[in-house]
């Protein structure tokens, strides 16, 4: 390549680096699209009860913040827009005590109260400014004929920009740590679990060589402060709190261990579950995990034996009853599933996810006599949990079976919009709108869905 041509290539290349930097920084506050949401009535009830005193201590209505479980094996939690805390399944698996989960929730709540997602631009703008300045200075150097000097300026600017943003991110994490400690103290909850969880993170850092001792520059490249520094600060704060030696409520801890085992049994390979929870273990978590492992491995009789042992130990536990109903339903025995599911729905005051499973069982019997009850429980589920695509799908099946095609199309449109099937949602909504009585609530809802679908399709078209 002729020497005179080299400076001209530097600016486009550096602009590409700038765009990559901005994209990388913006990803810090966005959940990964590949992560799927896990919905389970028992887990969501545990999350609500474990977090409620923390939210109240921070001045929030416990119902105002969503706790969302993601199918992701990494040990992580984050907030991303609105008032929602996302918790990875790997974090639940790594925790040994519900108090550790509460410590994580308190920390993430600190990000919400600090407005850290809203204030993301405060960290990004200075970093971008430094990078743009380095482009200008590098451009001048390139114009003067010094390609090497130009590249040096570009690279130094990118380094400074990243350092500026990461320092901002570390400051936010320290702020969330302090806020979380205050929320736990005000709620009368020990910070011991928070400390124990930080020790787990510190062990991971040592395992992967991220300690300051092994890498003096490690802290510069981190979004979070070094765990050792966080531990030192928080340990002193928590040990002075009157709740430091307060144990987790036994019932809450027992529920946490059940959920942890249930999640393991649901997500892990059945053989791994049976190794982790061998058949000589007869405690509740072990039976829970094995029931899911046997069910996944197509051994319904073994799965039912575990679920019935659980019910024998606690006949009014709605989640044990839900498990038995689910095994029966998915093993092709929907009529037998109805009784335990009915009881589970009654015991949980119509928990929407369990009610949806009952509606499914009633429809799966192919008995028209059960359809009226199915419609009732499914409509009740949707009133309490509109973001339930499977409930909408099942409701559409009921409407279609009784010849109400217009409302069946409307239910399909709701389900398709939630699951990202935008063109299908538009078609279903338009079909429902044309068939429903004009001016009725259902007709207006069909209009709303159609307009939302058109707007989404237009945004997608423009982005392409």
pLDDT in tens, 315-326: 999 999 999 999
pLDDT recorded at residue 245: 94
Strand order of the β-sheet with 84-88 is: 36-38, 66-71, 84-88, 77-79
pTM attached to this predicted model? 0.78
pLDDT recorded at residue 83: 84
Name the token pair of 342: 């009915």
Q: What mean pLDDT is reported for the chain?
A: 82
Half-sphere exposure of 278 (CA within 13 A, CB side): 2
> Please, which pLDDT band fits residue 386 given cuts at 50, 70 and 90?
confident
Angle separating helix axes 405-418 and 422-435, nearest 10 degrees: 160
Give mean pLDDT, residues 80-87: 84
Lowest mean pLDDT among 221-225, 234-238, 337-341, 409-413: 221-225
Lowest mean pLDDT among 89-93, 125-129, 283-287: 125-129
- Which residue would you say has higher pLDDT here, 15 or 197? 197
Residue 354 · residue 345 · CB < 8 Å: yes
Number of Cβ within 10 Å of residue 76's Cβ equals: 15
pLDDT at 199 over 90: no
Buried b (16+ CB within 10 A) or exposed e, 154-172: beebbebbbebbbbbbbeb
Give mean pLDDT, residues 329-345: 97
pLDDT at 342 over 60: yes
Give the 3-state secondary structure of residue 86. Answer: strand
d(CA 23, CA 128): 11
d(CA 266, CA 263): 5
Question: To which H or E segment does residue 38 belong?
Answer: strand 36-38
Lowest mean pLDDT among 193-202, 246-255, 331-340: 193-202
Lowest mean pLDDT among 30-34, 35-39, 345-349, 415-419: 30-34
pLDDT recorded at residue 303: 98
d(CA 125, CA 248): 43
> Please, which pLDDT band fits residue 209 given cuts at 50, 70 and 90?
low
> Please, which pLDDT band fits residue 90 given cuts at 50, 70 and 90?
very high
pLDDT recorded at residue 35: 63
d(CA 208, CA 228): 15
Half-sphere exposure of 7 (CA within 13 A, CB side): 17
For residue 389, how far is the Cα from the chain centroid? 17
pLDDT recorded at residue 5: 38
d(CA 374, CA 121): 49
Q: Which domains does the chain have, with CATH numbers?
A: 3-239 (no CATH), 268-310 (no CATH), 314-387 (1.25.40), 404-464 (no CATH)
d(CA 89, CA 37): 10
- 331: which residues sit within 8 A by CB, 6+ positions away? 295, 300
pLDDT at 177 over 50: yes
- 282: which residues sit within 8 A by CB, 6+ positions away? 309
d(CA 18, CA 9): 15
pLDDT recorded at residue 351: 96
- Which residue would you say has higher pLDDT here, 226 or 52? 52
Residue 65 · residue 113 · CB < 8 Å: no
| Strand 84-88 relative to strand 66-71, pairing | parallel
| pLDDT over 70, % of the chain | 74
pLDDT recorded at residue 225: 52
- Which residue would you say has higher pLDDT here, 130 or 181? 181
pLDDT at 421 over 60: yes
Percent helix, strand and coil across the chain, each to the nearest 5: 75, 5, 25
pLDDT recorded at residue 431: 96
pLDDT recorded at residue 53: 97
Reported as a single tens digit per residue, the pLDDT across 395-407 is 999 999 989 999 9
Give mean pLDDT, residues 295-299: 96
pLDDT at 140 over 70: no
Residue 355 · residue 381 · CB < 8 Å: yes
With CA atoms as reference, report the closest residue to 225 among 203, 214, 240, 210. Answer: 210
With CA atoms as reference, report the closest residue to 93 among 272, 357, 250, 243. Answer: 272
Long-range contacts of 343-349 (CB under 8 A, 24+ apart): 343/318, 344/318, 344/319, 345/318, 345/377, 347/316, 347/318, 347/321, 348/41, 348/45, 348/318
pLDDT recorded at residue 202: 77
Name the token pair of 80: 């991303």
Residue 354 · residue 346 · CB < 8 Å: no
Angle 340-346-347 from CA coordinates, rounded to 5°: 85
> Please, which pLDDT band fits residue 11 given cuts at 50, 70 and 90?
very low
pLDDT recorded at residue 22: 41
């Amino acid at each position: 390549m002729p020497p005179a041509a080299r400076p001209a290539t530097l600016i486009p290349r550096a602009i590409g680096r700038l765009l990559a930097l901005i994209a990388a920084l913006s990803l810090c506050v966005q959940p990964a699209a590949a992560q799927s949401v896990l919905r389970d009535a028992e887990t969501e009830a545990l999350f609500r009860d474990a977090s409620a005193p923390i939210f109240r201590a921070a001045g929030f209505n416990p119902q105002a913040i969503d706790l969302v479980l993601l199918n992701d094996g990494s040990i992580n939690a984050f907030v991303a827009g609105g008032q929602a805390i996302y918790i990875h399944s790997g974090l639940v698996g790594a925790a040994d005590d519900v108090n550790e989960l509460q410590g994580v929730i308190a920390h993430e709540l600190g990000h919400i109260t600090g407005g850290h997602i809203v204030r993301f631009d405060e960290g990004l703008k200075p970093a971008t400014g430094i990078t743009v300045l380095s482009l200008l200075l590098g451009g001048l150097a390139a114009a003067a004929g010094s390609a090497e000097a130009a590249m040096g300026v570009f690279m130094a600017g990118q380094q400074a920009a990243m350092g500026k943003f990461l320092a901002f991110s570390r400051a936010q994490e320290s702020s969330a740590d302090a806020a979380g400690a205050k929320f736990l103290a005000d709620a009368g909850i020990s910070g011991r679990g928070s400390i124990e969880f930080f020790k787990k993170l510190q062990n991971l850092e040592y395992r992967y060589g991220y300690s300051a001792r092994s890498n003096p520059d490690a802290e510069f490249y981190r979004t979070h402060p070094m765990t050792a520094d966080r531990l030192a600060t928080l340990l002193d704060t928590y040990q002075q709190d009157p709740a430091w030696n307060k144990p987790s409520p036994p019932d809450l801890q027992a529920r946490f261990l059940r959920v942890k085992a249930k999640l393991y049994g649901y997500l892990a390979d059945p053989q791994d579950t049976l190794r982790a929870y061998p058949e000589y273990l007869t405690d509740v978590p072990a039976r829970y995990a094995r029931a899911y492992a046997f069910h996944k491995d197509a051994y319904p009789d073994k799965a039912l034996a575990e679920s019935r042992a659980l019910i024998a130990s606690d006949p009014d536990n709605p989640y044990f009853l839900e498990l038995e109903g689910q095994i029966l339903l998915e093993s092709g025995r929907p009529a037998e599933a109805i009784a335990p599911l009915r009881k589970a729905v009654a015991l949980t005051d119509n928990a929407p996810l369990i009610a949806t499973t009952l509606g499914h069982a009633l429809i799966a019997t192919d008995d028209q006599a059960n359809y009226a009850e199915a419609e009732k429980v499914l409509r009740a589920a949707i009133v309490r949990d509109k973001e339930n695509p499977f409930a909408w799908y099942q409701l559409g099946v009921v409407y279609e079976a009784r010849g109400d095609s217009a409302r069946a199309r409307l239910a399909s449109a709701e389900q398709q919009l939630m699951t990202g099937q935008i063109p299908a949602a538009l078609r279903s909504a338009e079909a429902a709108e044309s068939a429903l009585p004009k001016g009725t609530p259902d007709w207006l809802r069909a209009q709303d869905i159609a307009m939302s679908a058109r707007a989404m399709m237009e945004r997608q078209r423009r982005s392409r």
